[in-house]
Structure 1
Amino acid sequence: MSTPPPTPEAARADGSSVLIGALVPLTRPGWVEAGRHLLAGVELAVREVNDAGGIAGRPLELVVRDTAADPHRAAAAVDELAGLGVAALVGEYHSVVARAAATRADALGLPFLCSSAVLDALTEQPTEWVARLAPPQSRGWQIYADFLLGAGHSRIAVATQPSVYWASGTRILRDHLAPRGGSVVELDMSALTPAAVCDELVDKRATALLLLVGHPEPAVPIVRAVRRDQRLAEIMIGAPAGQPELAAWATTLGTDGAAIPFLRYLPERLSPLGERVGAALRERLAEAPSFVAFEGYDTVTVLAEVLRSHGADRARTAASWPHVAVDGTRGQIRFSRAPGISVWQWARAPIQVVDRHPAEPDRFRILHAG
């Protein structure tokens, strides 16, 4: 006869670990580098929570599942982790994957604190079970659109692939730019080669090309083709989804990957906590930590405080989101409801538009802040 896995309540009773499920893209076609940074932040925070006594004397224990950027795999992992008795879920980078996980967590009554995904509607209907640290896509991409206009760009081309995330981003840009005299033309990368993209940019007289595509393919070949086309010497390449944030971008593209503005979710200056955590993350990763690593750390920091205050009961955890007030690495974290956002949202997450310095691709320049 099989024994069912322990519930969180059973874990409390027998003094065992408090289980936390972590959803992370660790294999292709997931963005593995982002997953590695996210997990590094999560693991560092878990270690510090346990060094400080855990949750009422019981250690936090991570149960990590690789989503590989697959929504079906993520939903199955949520089912498995719920059955294992996790108190809550954390993580996920890819928005479409996080949406599948959030929908399943909502259906099961399992708290999910989403670290990085930005789709406004992570669930079809408003839910009490899901909260999020990353700013919603509408807020971040509108700030990016304001940056484009301020830099003199009103004729925008977007190289895009079929995806709810890219379609949502295109719609946000178009809706925000059109009333302000801007236009957006879509270039379908399922039908165009990088060379054909260059011809389209010349034909449409675009002054900016945004990469709403995966990394490294087809983002890297597009960048190389545009940089080498003398007809496009004045065009700006942008990547609002943040592809240039991680070190592999600079390693692969070198100076071709510089001066490509993108969104990242860091303040202009980190707090003392952020500085300390940043140093620890740098040592753990053997490279500069991305904003994704800080998101991972802050996620566990917030959840640990909730568990200390309310215990590992799932319903009490979900009920606590509107009462959270935790100092994270990037500011004080509080959750609220916002129009059009289906989950509890950190409304004041910092947003920057940055790029890699042309003369020093390992150094970032802050171009705009929202």
Structure 2
Amino acid sequence: MRFRSLLMAAGAVALAGGAFATQGEAQEPIRVAALYSLTGGLSSLDGPSLKGAELHVDQINEEGGVLGRPLELVVFDTRTDQQVTATAAQEAVSSDVVAGFGQSDTTFVMAAAPTFQDAGIPFVTSGATHPMLPTWVGENMFMAAFGDDDQSYAIADYSYDTLEHRRVYVWTDNSMDFTRALTAFFKERFEERGGEIIDEDFFMMGDTDFSAQIARLEAVEPTPDAVFISAIPSEAGLTIRQIREAGLDIPIISGDGFDSQLVATVPGPELANDVWFSTHTYLADDRPEVQEFIDAYEAKFDHPPENSFAPLGYDAIGLIANAIEAAGSDDPAAIRDALEATRDYPAVTGTVSYTRENMVPPKPVSIISVQNAEFKVEDIWRPE
């Protein structure tokens, strides 16, 4: 069964209505937990991701639901806080849900997914990208996105081949599993291609002053060809702004933590220049699923998708609904087995088949440029 998209949640529970009435009684909904940081440093990724999921649930319910029953989201704001996330996961598995999904960062998935694993309930992360997640969590863990190895390789290849960078300085948020992994895979690929990592500097999530890192970067002679910044959105815009305010016009490269409007709005159009990052593919893709999603999202929310995390949320709940339908059951174990058997699911962000070890789908990676605060798809990298 092929689903399209929509819902309506904002912190608690969203129910579908009369279309499911049978002899005057509404069908019992199938409940799925959505765990997202709707506030805090990851909200610019998680907010759009939840909206994408809401869109898909509305569309599924408009088309008759799943197994003839409405799909219902039970939404938790995890507030970019690991303890809040862990507590939300405990509440979620006690809320009569058949599956869970959400989170755009590995650290926060690891605060939630093991609880679903222990409860025997499948969990699909919409945006977290560490390729070891399913190994760390267990057989109930699935990823809707590519792995950090692929997106790091993509930006490393583009940096070396197209931008002709040979000497790169690296900044890493040392507090996050995602950012450390992104850096490790970037360094591996860039050096494998023949590039040089000049040096590496560090900061922590929540830092707002990067003057010390900038001073060390300025002191490098000759000037590096680029600086690779492994960061989440709250740091992405700040690092760009402060580097440019210091008078440095060095190219900035990164991964999907930069796939946020904060990269444009925090520096502003005069400073948001010469930035390139890898992220999830859907823009510049001519598959019908992509344009249908964009049109539906804009119709519901009165603006285009903010970033690629919006279609990832759409895809994550779509994978779960597809598995429920394929299983013919709302039993979590049956849903898990159907997820594992998923082949050629037509997701907006690329076809999903769980054929790789660890349930990490091989998917294309987009390279985005930012000039004058405008985003443009420059290339699409495909895994070997």
The alignment's TM-score, normalised by the length of structure 2, stands at: 0.83
> Secondary structure of the equivalent of 1:262?
strand
Q: Cα offset for 1:368? A: 5.0
Per-residue CA deviation, residues 148-184 of structure 1 (Å, 9 max, x unaligned), is 2112222222222222222222211222222333233
Tell me: CA distance 1:330–1:125, structure 2 relative to 1, closer, same or farther (3 Å).
closer
> Secondary structure of the equivalent of 1:332?
coil
1:329 alignment counterpart: 348
Q: What is the CA–CA distance in structure 2 between the aligned matches of 1:240 and 1:272, rounded to whole Å?
A: 26
How do 1:1-370 and structure 2 match up within 5 A? 15-28=27-40, 30-125=41-136, 127-150=138-161, 151-163=163-175, 164-184=177-197, 185-189=199-203, 193-204=209-220, 205-217=223-235, 219-230=236-247, 232-233=248-249, 235-243=250-258, 245-255=259-269, 256-267=271-282, 268-289=284-305, 290-310=307-327, 311-325=329-343, 326-338=345-357, 343-347=358-362, 349-358=363-372, 361-367=373-379, 369-370=381-382
8 Å contact from structure 2 (residues 319, 339) kept in 1: no
Q: What is the CA–CA distance in structure 2 between the aligned matches of 1:148 and 1:368, rounded to whole Å?
A: 13
Q: Cα offset for 1:200? A: 1.7
Q: Cα offset for 1:58? A: 1.0
Q: Which runs of 4+ in 1 moved over 6 A?
A: none
Q: What is the CA–CA distance in structure 1 between the aligned matches of 2:58 and 2:208, rounded to whole Å?
A: 47
> Secondary structure of the equivalent of 2:104?
coil
Tell me: CA distance 1:31–1:126, structure 2 relative to 1, closer, same or farther (3 Å).
closer
Tell me: CA distance 1:65–1:142, structure 2 relative to 1, closer, same or farther (3 Å).
same
- Extract unaligned runs of 5+ from structure 2: 1-25
8 Å contact from structure 2 (residues 256, 280) kept in 1: no
8 Å contact from structure 1 (residues 23, 92) kept in 2: yes
Q: Cα offset for 1:273? A: 2.2
> Secondary structure of the equivalent of 2:377?
strand
Q: What is the CA–CA distance in structure 1 between the aligned matches of 2:232 and 2:335, rounded to whole Å?
A: 35
CA RMSD between the two structures: 2.3
1:7 alignment counterpart: none
Aligned length: 345
Per-residue CA deviation, residues 1-32 of structure 1 (Å, 9 max, x unaligned), is xxxxxxxxxxxxx941100000111111x321
Q: Which amino acid aligns with 2:34?
A: A
Q: Cα offset for 1:336? A: 2.1
Q: Cα offset for 1:61? A: 0.6
Tell me: CA distance 1:251–1:313, structure 2 relative to 1, closer, same or farther (3 Å).
same
Identity of aligned residues (%): 23
Tell me: CA distance 1:242–1:284, structure 2 relative to 1, closer, same or farther (3 Å).
farther
Per-residue CA deviation, residues 299-346 of structure 1 (Å, 9 max, x unaligned), is 1222111111211111111111232132222343211233xxxx3122
The alignment's TM-score, normalised by the length of structure 1, stands at: 0.86
Q: Cα offset for 1:192? A: 10
